[in-house]
Amino acid sequence: MNTQRIKLLAFFILFTGMITAQKNTISKPAIIPQPTEVKWKEGSFQLPERAVICYNEGAKQSAAWLQQLLSNTYVESYSMTGSNCMGFSLELNEDLQDKLGNEGYELEITKNTVFLKAATDTGLFYAVQTLRQMFPSEIEKRQINDPIKLPQVKITDSPRFEWRGSMIDIARSFFGPEYLKKHLDRMALYKLNKLHLHLTDDQGWRIEMKSKPKLTELGGKSAVKNGRSGFLTQEEYKELQEYAKARNITIIPEIDMPGHIYAALMAYPELNCEEFSNLEPRLATPPQLYHEYTVGWSKLCLEKPEIYDFVSEIIAELSEITTGEYIHIGGDEIDDERYEEFVVKADSIVRENGKTTIGWEEVTQAPVNLDFISQRWNGKTESVVDVRIIESICTNFYFDHANVPGQEKTNNWCQERGVSLDDAYNFNPDNPNVIGVEAPIWSELITSDDMADNRLWPRTIATAEIGWTPQESKDFSNFKERLGQHGDRLDYLDVKFFKSPDVEWNLEEGEGVFSGFMPENE
């Protein structure tokens, strides 16, 4: 063979080799939120047909989550206490607290074992969620019987903020336990840890109060027009909290006071002033129900001392049935000379019941206790107290606003063009008082589960990344790529998400053939 032929042949061999190598190299799994530190290694770990999950004391719950994940694969797993077995090893170790904090974890995949380590059960749970995102997305829906290969990797991860929340207004239009549980499942996948329920407003009262049964007997029947009515029984509320807690999520109940409260004023007319002077403009008169959109027209009769008996009773009963440490007292959009006095009293009632008070930012016009947490939404309040802040500024976190300009049935009062994925992602909460972020949906115009899915997702995933990932590791184009890779997963989870036009969604239904995730060469 002459040299030219040899060169050609060499080129041919190299070229076909390159093609085969490329076929075996599947892009890295897309992890959201982006972990603090990821080191991909050469090689993979092919899950065996039988595996042992070893765990130490305290890690049993997370071992069960892992086992549940594996139950959707061909892997037959059994779990036992112990350490360093081949397969899966979970270690809860308090000495890791300094390094990883309350929610951080380490996840290491070697050639034959997955190691999950954390100082807390929560950290281990998050390690399992990250691992879950490395499995083929079909796992969310059906059993995978083809070989699964995980890339070798070492991840060290912990959140930027302790508060990573979502809020659903279930007062204007009711969303019941079934939807809320689905929402909790989806939140957990993205390491969100607070679900705030806006339980009461002019159009409805959604939580059973045994001391004031008419609140739900009457207030549970109304809703915004076209919206659903209903309410959570105390049993359902308790069960929902347990379901949330198992997923490391705290439920935050909100009773909006002293405004946004017509549903209660209708059920207990004695909470009104003479001649309903507290309803201004009078958009409904008890016992009429209210179905319209206008806000800011109702309030408790603040000059009547009896309203404080009502407030005390409600807060005491709600505190009794609430397992989390927070009660949200609302406090938004009201004009009354006794407003500040009310807020200070309501705050102290909450604290007497052993809870931490949260309120919309207006509340910080009043000299509340310094344990108070303010939820910022329009940034207009001149605060007289230096307190912790949850960032929900409407330009970036109000997901009842349009995904894209002109989307039907969306609000636009905060920002005409809506809240784009870019807006939802590119916000840096840099005020030192900020303890985290929360994205609300108000439900005057969101009257079905599919609509809620469309407004919440994928923007809530952007909120999750703001809440978790260090600012310097955030990158919008990289986020969009990873998000696109989650298209299938969201589909398999039956999320009717908005297909943001600036994301390349990976939506093809898998053919049932899975050849594994292998790290790309870096």
Interaction with ligand TNX in 207-266: which residues (CB under 6 A)? 260
Interaction mask 313-332, ligand TNX, x per CB under 6 A: -------------------x
Residue number, 64 or 393, with CB nearest to ligand TNX: 393
Q: Give the per-residue SS3 of 138-195.
A: HHHCCCECCCCEEEEEEEEECCCCCEEEEEEECCCCCCCHHHHHHHHHHHHHCCCCEE
Nearest-10 crossing angle of helices 449-456, 459-468: 40
* Size, binding site for ligand TNX by CB under 6 A: 9
Between 131 and 265, whose beta carbon lies closer to ligand TNX? 265
- What are the distances in angstroms from CA 430 to CA 34, 389, 396, 436? 19, 11, 14, 10
3-state SS, one letter per residue, for 490-513: HHHCCCCCCCCCCCCCCCCCCCCC
Which residues on neighbouring strands pair with residue 227, listed in sequence order? none
Asked if 297 and 249 touch (Cβ cutoff 8 Å), the reply is: no
In 3D space, the residue among 439, 392, 437, 395 whose CA is nearest the CA of residue 420 turns out to be: 395
Residue from 411, 420, 469, 485 in contact with ligand TNX (CB under 6 A): 411
Choose, by CB under 6 A, the member of 295, 344, 404, 493 that binds ligand TNX: 295
Provide, rounded to whole angstroms, the least separation between the CB of residue 425 and ligand TNX.
Answer: 21
State which residue, 326 or 360, has the beta carbon closest to ligand TNX: 360
User: Does 409 sit near ligand TNX (CB under 6 A)?
Assistant: no
**What is the closest distance, in whole angstroms, from the C-beta atom of residue 206 to ligand TNX in the complex?**
14
Question: Residue 35, preceding bond cis, omega within 30 degrees?
Answer: no
Q: Kindly state the tokens that stand for 200.
A: 């009461």
In angstroms, the CA 273 to CA 264 distance is 13
Nearer to ligand TNX, 97 or 383 (CB): 383
Whole-number minimum distance, CB 261 to ligand TNX, in Å?
A: 11
Smaller CB separation from ligand TNX, 191 or 260: 260
Closest distance to ligand TNX from the beta carbon of 255 (Å): 13
Chain centroid offset of residue 64 CA: 22
Q: CB of residue 424 vs ligand TNX: minimum separation in angstroms? A: 16
User: Residue 375 Cβ, how far from ligand TNX at the closest point, in Å?
Assistant: 8
3-state secondary structure 66-118: HHHHHCCECCEEEEEECCCCCEEEEEECHHHHHHHCCCCEEEEECCCEEEEEE
Provide, rounded to whole angstroms, the least separation between the CB of residue 386 and ligand TNX. Answer: 21
The Cα-based distances of 174 to 244, 290, 434 in angstroms read 19, 14, 30
* Residue (131 or 350) nearer to ligand TNX, CB: 350
CB of 204 to ligand TNX, least distance (A): 12
Closest residue to ligand TNX, judged by C-beta, is 442
CA distance 332 to 19: 61
- If the CB atoms of residues 377 and 497 are measured against ligand TNX, the closer one turns out to be 377
- Which residue from 333, 336, 475, 481 is in contact with ligand TNX, where contact means CB under 6 A? 333
CA–CA gap between residue 403 and residue 424 (Å, rounded): 10
Residues of span 158-197 touching ligand TNX by CB under 6 A: none
Decide whether 150 or 224 has the Cβ nearer to ligand TNX.
224
Q: Which is nearer to ligand TNX, 444 or 491 (CB)?
A: 444
Single-letter amino acid, residue 265: L
Nearer to ligand TNX, 88 or 398 (CB): 398
Closest approach of Cβ 298 to ligand TNX, in Å?
11
Q: Which residues touch 354 (CB under 8 Å, ≥6 apart)?
A: 319
| Identity of the residue, 77 or 375, whose beta carbon is nearer to ligand TNX in the bound complex | 375
Q: In the bound complex, what is the minimum distance in angstroms from residue 207's beta carbon to ligand TNX?
A: 17
Residue type, 407: Q
For residue 296, the minimal CB distance to ligand TNX (Å) is 8
* Residue list 429-488, contact with ligand TNX (CB under 6 A): 442, 444
Least distance CB 165 / ligand TNX (angstroms): 14
Binding mask 357-396 for ligand TNX (x = CB under 6 A): ---x----------------x-------------------
Check if the beta carbon of residue 466 is closer than 8 Å to that of residue 473: no
Say how far apart CA 441 and CA 449 lie, in whole Å: 12
Q: Give contact residues for ligand TNX (rule: CB under 6 A).
A: 260, 295, 332-333, 360, 377, 411, 442, 444
